[in-house]
Structure 1
Amino acid sequence: MSDLKRTPLYEKFQENGAKTVDFGGWELPVKFSGIKDEHHAVRERAGLFDVSHMGEVSVTGDDAEAFLQYLVTNDIKQLAAGVAQYTAMCYEDGGTVDDLIIYKLDVNNYLLVINAANEAQDFEWIQSHAGGNVNIKNISNEVAQLAVQGPEAEAIVQSLTGVSLDDIGFFNFKNHVDLAGIQSLVSRTGYTGENGFEIYCAWDDAPRLWDAIQAAGESKGLALCGLGARDTLRFEAKLPLYGQELSKDISPVEAGIGFAVKVKNEDDFIGKAALKAQKENGAPRKLVGVEMIDKGIPRTHYAVFSDDQKIGEITTGTQSPTLNKNLGLALITRDYAEKGHEVEVDIRGKRKKAIIIGTPFYKRS
Structure 2
Amino acid sequence: MRTEITDLDHLRAAPDLRKAVIVGLDLTREDVRVPMDGALLLGCTLSETMQRRAEAAGALIFPVIPDVPYDVYRSHLYTPGELFAGFDPADPRTYADTPDAVIYRHSKQQGHHPDPLHALAERLHDHSITEALDEVLTGRPVAVMGGHALARGSDGYRNAVELGAALGRAGLTVLTGGGPGAMEAVPLGVRCGSADADVLAQLAEAPSFGGDDESIGRWLAAFPEVPSFEVPRTIGIPTWFYGHEPPNPACELHAKYFANSVREEGLLTVATGGIVYTPGKAGTVQEVFQDFTQNYYGSVGPAAPMIFLGTAFWTDEVPAAPLVQKLAAGRDAERWILVTDDVDEAVALLLKYAGELG
How high is the TM-score relative to the length of structure 2? 0.29
| Higher normalized strand content (fraction of residues) | 1
Greater per-residue helix proportion: 2
The higher-RCO structure (CA 8 Å, 6+ apart) is 1
Higher Rg:
2
